[in-house]
Amino acid sequence: MRRMPNLPIICDPSHICGRRDTLQEVAQKAMDLNFNGIMLESHINPARALSDAEQQVTPKIMRTFD
């Protein structure tokens, strides 16, 4: 961020955490560090997702990240 201040930095907590129970904490830390955005994996039914099921949240849960 110091070397390239005009470059937007996006955090991907889904892949950092690998599990949904720590997503909100990591996302909040990224925002506290002035990241420009958050990218989260979402699925209408994470248990049935074909990949990365453990790190996905439902759209309903994503609304709680506001």
pLDDT digits over 23-62, tens only? 889 999 999 999 999 998 989 998 898 988 898 988 888 7
The C-alpha atoms of residue 39 and residue 45 are separated, in whole angstroms, by: 18
pLDDT of 25: 92
The C-alpha atoms of residue 41 and residue 62 are separated, in whole angstroms, by: 9
Residue 65: which of 11, 6, 18 has the closest Cα? 11
Q: Tell me the residue type at 26.
A: V
- Judged against a pLDDT cut of 90, whether residue 63 lies above it is answered with no
Look up residue 62 and give its two tokens.
């994503």
pTM for the structure as a whole: 0.78
Position 66 confidence tier, pLDDT thresholds 50, 70, 90: low
- Judged against a pLDDT cut of 70, whether residue 65 lies above it is answered with no
Look up residue 43 and give its two tokens.
């699925």
Q: Tell me the residue type at 56.
A: Q
